[in-house]
Structure formats: C-alpha cells, structure tokens
Amino acid sequence: MKMHRLGKTDLLVSRICLGTMTFGEQNTEADAHAQLDYALERGINFIDTAEMYPVPPSAGTQGATERFIGTWLKKTGKRHDIVLATKAAGPNANQTWIRGGRHNLDPANIRAALDASLQRLQTDHVDLYQLHWPSRNVPIFGANSFEPKKERNSVPIEDTLGALDDLVKAGKIRHVGVSNESPWGVCEYVKQSETKGLPRIATIQNLYNLTARAFETTLLDEVCYREDVSLLAYSPLAFGQLSAKYVDDPQAVGRLTIYPPTWSPRYLRPMVVEATKEYAALARANGMTPAQMALAWCYSRWFVASTIIGATTLAQLKENIDAESIVLSDEVVKAIDGIHARYTNPGQ
C-alpha cells in the first residue's frame, strides 16, 4: 500500500482511507469492527469519520459511527496504529439534534463538538480534525453555483482557526483540515494561518469521482498544489452509482434505492446514469469491473493524497482495496477523458 504525506505535516497515510459513514445505519457494530480489522490487515492506516455520521443523518443515529470506532479502539488497542480523522458539522438548521441546533464553527461549538467526539471515540486526541462544511454561504452537496442572495452571518475564519489553535495546544488535535471548500476558502485559511500564526490546514476533503471532477476545473488542484494542501477524495463511486449496479439492476439494494431520492438526487440525474453506462462498458471491455476502474482512476490521480472508500460488505471492501494494484493504460485514461468530455461533471 502506497503511503502519502498530508500537507506539511508528519502524518503518513495510506492512499486508501476507510470511510465509515455507513456504520450505525447500513452496518452494525459487528460489521464495523470487521471492516476496521480487514482494512488494517490490508495496509490501510487512515480512518475517517464525523460527528454527524452515520448518513442519512438523523437524531436517532447521530454519533453511532464514532461510538462503533471507539469500541473497536478499546477492544483492539490499535489507536497508535491508525491515523484517526473526524469532522465538526457546520451550520444546518435542519439538524437540530447536533449541539441543540446551534452547531457552527465558533470557539464554543468547536470545543463542544470535539470533546463529544473524543468521548465517543474513546481517545484523548484526533490526528486530523476537519471542518465538515463552511460556516459561510458556499455551494455544497449538489449545488454548484455561488448565489450572493444566500449570504448569511458566519463565523470569521480567523475565529475558527483560533479555536482550533487552542485545541492543538491542549493536545486534543494534531492537525486540521477543511471539507467541501472552495479555492477562495483554501486561500483564506492559508492566509489567516500564515499572517496570524494559527494552525495551517493540511487537507481538504472534497467530492471527486468520474462524474464530478470540478476539483480540476475550478483550479482547486493548482491552489492545493501550490499551498501544499492534500486532497482527500470522497464519494469516488458516486454513492455506488459508478459500480454500475443500478444500471444493471435499477432495484439493486443500496443507498440510491434504500433512501428517498431527495437525499442524493445528483447521482440519479439522467446524465450521471448515461455516463455510468459508458464508463462501465469501458471497464468491462478492459477486464475490470466498473468499480475497479473508477477507483483505480481516482487512486492514480497525482493530486489525490488519499481516497475515502466505504462499503457495506467485506466483499465490496475487498474489491475496492484490490483496485489499488490496477494500473490503467494510457489508452483507458484517454477513453475516460473522452467520456468526461461528453458528460462533463453531471454528478457535481
């Protein structure tokens, strides 16, 4: 398993990260522990979670994912064998069960969020603490255009970094990162850290897959390269759509059929389905499953430090990890880019 350094930190992580947002919803505690055991056996040392998980988010399950990881850490004693990352939720008026609906990125909320996560995880620190989405108005989760009319009061980035600085000094956080951020956001975080002597973001966790390549087209790749901020790519299989299981069987059991279509409509767009058909045909014509090709492509991108994979079964997890050894030919990459030219970012 190849290892990559995150930003300017001393953290060396596997280029595959185990995502855990199904733990507590689609996966039981026993399932979660089995996945964590298997991931470590295969050389994965990087685990990503969030206070909001599992998804879809709900009052009844919130925090279960971190609790499952915490019981695994206590049972196995493997805390020092992994790089553990979690995230603090940004503002969302609909999620009133998180910190009483007052969840933002101000100092009091960040402290409360982290302390609760540490308790659930049964550890005294996290290696990477990420801001799940911005406090300010920014297009995320399927919205892809900035709208000034949606401006709202937000916590200044300097204040958020100040709160994180206190927690780094307290030994509760080793390094910090952002998620669902824009080029402006990355630049502002770096500027504030460098001018005010505050913690420097090491990572950005953003959407990236064959149907959503805006990380390239918005020049976030250049910004992150020049500022030494590492991309943690999430949703590399577009909620399972790029495995082509829904193309092969529209009623296949998975997130896109179990939950209401309003939860993840971007991956149900007709253009996403059409693009998936072409990617699947290309993969199969070259001796790969659609999931293997989609993941091998993501693993191989020069700007992806680690790709966050999730699975509901050990068989799926094995297939996803096995794709790490696949080297795509220049011809296949060229064909992928040709499909992308016809179906540009339909899942963004």
When pLDDT is averaged across residues 303-323 and rounded to a whole number, the result is 97
- Number of domains composing the chain: 1
pLDDT of residue 344: 96
Burial class (CB in 10 A: 0-12, 13-18, 19+), 19: buried
The answer to whether residue 192 is domain-embedded is yes
Helix or strand or coil: residue 23? strand
The string of pLDDT tens digits covering residues 83-140 is 999 999 999 888 999 988 777 999 999 999 999 999 999 999 999 999 999 999 999 8
The string of pLDDT tens digits covering residues 71-95 is 999 999 999 999 999 999 999 888 9
Domain that holds residue 320: 3-239+301-324
pLDDT of residue 185: 97
pLDDT of residue 334: 98
Residue 64 has pLDDT above 80, yes or no: yes
The answer to whether residue 342 is domain-embedded is no
When pLDDT is averaged across residues 62-72 and rounded to a whole number, the result is 98
pLDDT of residue 194: 97
The answer to whether residue 191 is domain-embedded is yes
pLDDT of residue 157: 97
pLDDT of residue 346: 96
The answer to whether residue 87 is domain-embedded is yes
pLDDT of residue 102: 74
Confidence band of 58 (pLDDT split at 50, 70, 90): very high
pLDDT of residue 91: 92
The residues carrying an active-site annotation are 53
When pLDDT is averaged across residues 290-297 and rounded to a whole number, the result is 98
When pLDDT is averaged across residues 314-329 and rounded to a whole number, the result is 97
The residue to which tokens 């680690």 are assigned:
306
Average pLDDT, the chain: 96
Range name among 34-48, 55-69, 256-270, 334-348 with the lowest pLDDT average: 256-270
Confidence band of 262 (pLDDT split at 50, 70, 90): confident
pLDDT of residue 218: 85
The answer to whether residue 182 is domain-embedded is yes
* Distance of alpha carbon 198 from alpha carbon 311, whole angstroms: 36
pLDDT of residue 93: 80
Instruction: State percent of the chain over pLDDT 70.
Output: 100
Q: The domain that contains 51 carries what CATH number? A: 3.20.20.100
Residue 54 has pLDDT above 90, yes or no: yes
Residue 205 has pLDDT above 80, yes or no: yes
The answer to whether residue 152 is domain-embedded is yes
Instruction: State percent of the chain over pLDDT 90.
Output: 93
* Distance of alpha carbon 228 from alpha carbon 219, whole angstroms: 14
pLDDT of residue 186: 97
The answer to whether residue 177 is domain-embedded is yes
Confidence band of 142 (pLDDT split at 50, 70, 90): confident
Would you give the distance in Å from CA 267 to the centre of its chain? 16
The string of pLDDT tens digits covering residues 21-50 is 999 999 999 999 999 999 999 999 999 999
The candidate with the shortest Cα–Cα distance to 220, out of 239, 198, 205, 240, is: 205
The answer to whether residue 269 is domain-embedded is no
DSSP 39-98: HHHTT--EEE--TT-SSS--TTTTTHHHHHHHHHHHHH--GGGSEEEEEE----TT-TTS
The string of pLDDT tens digits covering residues 208-240 is 999 999 999 888 999 999 999 999 999 999 999
In the chain, which residue ranges form alpha helices assigned H by DSSP?
A: 29-41, 64-76, 107-121, 157-169, 183-196, 214-217, 220-227, 245-248, 255-258, 270-285, 290-300, 314-322, 330-342
* Distance of alpha carbon 151 from alpha carbon 137, whole angstroms: 5
Helix or strand or coil: residue 27? strand
pLDDT of residue 261: 84
Confidence band of 263 (pLDDT split at 50, 70, 90): confident
